Amino acid sequence: MTAQDTPALFQERERRNNLTTFDTLLERNQDFAAHHFLKDLSMMPNLRIMIIGCVDPRVDPAHVLGLGLGDAIVIRNIGGRVTPATLETIGMLGGIAQRAGGGPPTGFHLIVLQHTHCGIAHLEGQTDMLASYFGIDQEEVAAQAVTNPHAAVAVDVAALKATLTLPESWLVSGLVYDVTTGQIEVVVPPAPQSHAERPA
């Protein structure tokens, strides 16, 4: 907003900018449909990968993992966290796979991809909001480690292994992407559910 701008002029310019962006997106789609569209892709991902990642625009799995169209199922939410909604989505995907004919797919890899400098850290202290998000009591929120992606990714891999019933051929892993370097660290190496640590 410049010195001469009235609030109304500022709003008008912002609205025009948004419409220009929208037009650009539609033009890009025309280019995609003409040059990059792949016909007859399957709903079943090419790479047998399901990624749980963050909505942050810096950490799009298609870019940071070099995925192509049809390669992977991607579930994105705040933080790339395992929440009741995440588990519901995974359960519904299983229902779709069964009804689409095939039964549970074999050889799938479930990857939790979290990242450094995640916005969810700003919600530390918003105990009500976080308890609701994770479907837990307020006293349990600290254990979700929202300010520490390395701890959080381990918590979430453990939660997936404890909650889901996965075929033995499935792998689960946990990664942390560094937004300052572009590099990914393997925090929880790929392992089947049976390798989950059992309580003594």
* Residues making contact with Zn ion (CB under 5 A): 54, 56, 118
Of 83 and 193, nearer to Zn ion (C-beta) is 83
Of 56 and 71, nearer to Zn ion (C-beta) is 56
CB of 118: closest distance to Zn ion in angstroms? 3
Residue pair 123/129 in contact by the 8 Å Cβ criterion: yes
CB of 44: closest distance to Zn ion in angstroms? 28
Token readout for 184 is: 């990914």
Q: What is the CA radius of gyration of the chain?
A: 20
Provide the CB-side half-sphere exposure for 26 (13 A, CA): 6
Of 78 and 196, nearer to Zn ion (C-beta) is 78
CB of 65: closest distance to Zn ion in angstroms? 16
CA-CA-CA-CA dihedral for 185, 187, 193, 194, to nearest 10: 130
Of 52 and 159, nearer to Zn ion (C-beta) is 52
CB of 80: closest distance to Zn ion in angstroms? 6
Question: In degrees rounded to 5, what are phi and psi of residue 128?
Answer: -60, -50
